[in-house]
Amino acid sequence: MICDSCGVEAPTKYVIFYQNIGALLMRFTKRIEGNLCKSCIHKYFWEFTLITLILGWWGVISFLTTLFYIPNNIIRYLFSLSLKPVPPGATVVELTEEAISRLSPYAETIVTRLNSGESLEYVAGDVALRARVTPGQVVLYLRALVTASQDSE
C-alpha cells in the first residue's frame, strides 16, 4: 500500500533487484529490496539491469554474479508486470496531526483485529473509510504505534 522507496500510496509488490559493477579484482554491488510501486520497480529494474549488463562482467566472480543477477532481475520484473500502476494523483503518504486524531479512537480496534488474524490491507481499508483517512495513513499510524511501544520497553 505504501512504496518503500518513494513513499507514494499505491499498489506495491515485493521485489529485490541487484546491480553489479565488476572492476577485475573488485566488485561493487547494490541492491534494492522491499515493497515497491510500479513506477519504482520500473525505474530500478532498468537502471540496475542495464548497468549490470554493461559493467557487470569484468572479473571472474563478477561474471558469475552477473549471470545470477540478470535473470533474477528479469524474473522479478516479469512477475511484477501484473501490478496495477500508481493511480493518477497518488501522493506521498503523510501522517498529519489531523489523521492521528481521527485514528486514535480506532487504535485498539486496529490492534485487536490484526491480532485476530485479519490482513493489514483489509483492516487498513476498512478503518480508513470509518476514520476518513487513507489506508496508507492507517499503515503509517500503526507503524508509529509499534515504534512507540518498542521505545517504551
Backbone phi and psi for residue 33, each to the nearest 5 degrees, phi listed first = -140, 135
Least distance CB 39 / Zn ion (angstroms): 5
Q: Which is nearer to Zn ion, 40 or 127 (CB)?
A: 40
Contacts of 16 (CB under 8 A, 6+ apart): 31, 32, 33, 72, 76
Least distance CB 28 / Zn ion (angstroms): 24
Give Rg (Cα) of the chain.
20
Least distance CB 91 / Zn ion (angstroms): 12
Q: Which is nearer to Zn ion, 8 or 131 (CB)?
A: 8
Least distance CB 43 / Zn ion (angstroms): 8
Q: Which is nearer to Zn ion, 76 or 102 (CB)?
A: 76
Distance between CA atoms of residues 18 and 44, nearest Å = 9
Residues making contact with Zn ion (CB under 5 A): 3, 5-6, 37, 40
Q: Which is nearer to Zn ion, 40 or 138 (CB)?
A: 40
